[in-house]
Amino acid sequence: MKLRHYIIMSSTLLVLTGCAGHSVNTGQEDNIVTLQTDFNADPPSYTDYFERIETIPLETNDSSLIATASKILIEDNKIVVLDFDRSMVKEFHIDGSYAGTIGNQGEGPEDYLTVYDISYNKDKGYLSLLSPYGGIVNYTLDNKFVDRVELPAKQNYWAAEWISGDRMVTWSGVGSDEPGISLMDPYSGTEFMTDWYNCFEFDFLSTSPLSSYNGKFYFDGPFTNDVYEITPDSLKLSYRWDFGKDNISDSYRESLRNIDDRQIRDERVKGEIGGNNHKYNIKSNWQTDKYCIALMLISPYPDVRYKSAVYSKENKSGICFSKFKEGMTFIPVYVNDEYVLCQIPETEFDIYNGISDSKLVYNEDDNIVLAKYYFKK
């Protein structure tokens, strides 16, 4: 199967960060952790970060096929894969053998229509499938229907993450008077914290902005290098990627905001990704004890290409690269302190066969193959 390419104001002085409804305390700005990262570095060897690589071919049968691993969760020794393009969720054992399909796409009372994101509620032991239309359908990992919940009405839901048994944070399309970020109880509809108002200019650029690390949850705002911690009261600026002269300039952002026609503005933004003014769009962020990692879109459809930024917390420096020196494309889909998972393009099977114990053979009818990069101890 071919690989397809796949976001309490204090009483002290506040500084606006590019939109009318989100503010950052100047004290936060003064103390922000800045990740100095070389955007045009020479490609590293995978051995600079990782001690070994395993390959995991996912089982091929009529029920298990995936086009693209858009998001991966590891729960209960299972690999849970969201295929965004096909709006399906598949489940595999750690060795890649097929474990089943989560949910059923349809219009029945226990079905879902479309899934944009998945999140696991560890306290209650079920997987939530997020609909862009404002609902979640919950299933156990052995595919038993639990319930469905209607979320507060918003323009469009892009992402959701459980932060406790009864608290969920959501990212949605932003309207003139609607927040993009909501911390809520999905069952009662109560919103405990809302943020990111009137920042709708570039919300379409950020579809995977939520992440977690060490018990905390984070949001990376669209069209910005900033990453915020999601607290019970507000978004707290946590760290910022700094690519030096390759940063997107404030003057370029402002020139786009001055375009009144939103459709023209959005088309220009998408069309200029990878150009001199707009060299990247950060798609996802992860943290480990040793690293901060970001995945960046550097060329839009139809010639979709990515770079990854890897910043060492110990060395206080980072680099960006698309491929390792050995030739493997590095597009993380899942990151934890032990390893990184990537989907392997079929054109790189021979490279992996040369650096690992794998014996991959391309067959266009086969399921996708994952690479498991183990961090150095």
Mean pLDDT of 7-23: 36
pLDDT at 228: 95
Residue 160 buriedness (CB in 10 A; 0-12 / 13-18 / 19+): buried
Residue 154 belongs to domain spanning: 14-375
Nearest to 148 by CA among 131, 161, 136: 136
The closest of 282, 322, 288 to 305, measured between CA atoms, is 322
Query: Is 167 inside any structural domain?
Result: yes
Backbone angles phi, psi at 131, to 5 degrees: -90, 140
Residue in the block written with tokens 């404002």? 134
Q: How far is CA 161 from the centre of its chain?
A: 11
How far is 58 from 72, CA to CA, in rounded Å?
13
- The predicted-structure confidence for 312-369, as pLDDT tens digits, reads as follows 999 999 999 999 999 999 999 999 999 999 999 999 999 999 999 899 999 999 999 9
pTM assigned to the model: 0.91
Question: Is residue 142 assigned to a domain?
Answer: yes
- On whether residue 233 sits in a domain, the answer given is yes
**Can you tell me the distance from the alpha carbon of 327 to that of 39, in angstroms, rounded to the nearest whole number?**
18
- Other beta carbons within 10 Å of 122: 12
| Nearest residue to 305 via CA among 320, 325, 288, 291 | 320
Residue 2 lies in a domain: no
Residues 6 or more apart in contact with residue 257 via CB below 8 angstroms: 201, 265
Please list, in sequence order, all residues whose beta carbon lies within 8 angstroms of the beta carbon of residue 181, skipping any fewer than 6 positions away. Answer: 169, 170, 171, 193, 194, 195, 196, 219, 230, 235
Is residue 1 a part of any domain in this protein? Answer: no
Q: Does 292 map to a domain?
A: yes
Q: Is 300 strand, coil or helix?
A: coil
Q: Is residue 154 part of a domain?
A: yes
Q: Supply the CATH number for residue 129's domain.
A: 2.120.10.30
Q: How many domains does the chain have?
A: 1
Per-residue model confidence as pLDDT tens digits over 248-282: 998 988 888 788 887 888 788 888 888 988 899 99
Which residues are 37's β-sheet partners? 318
pLDDT digits (tens, 9 = 90+) for 141-180: 999 999 999 999 887 899 999 999 999 999 987 666 778 8
Question: Is the confidence at residue 10, as pLDDT, over 50?
Answer: no
95-114 pLDDT per residue, tens: 999 999 999 999 999 999 99
> Whole-angstrom Cα distance, residue 101 to residue 89?
6
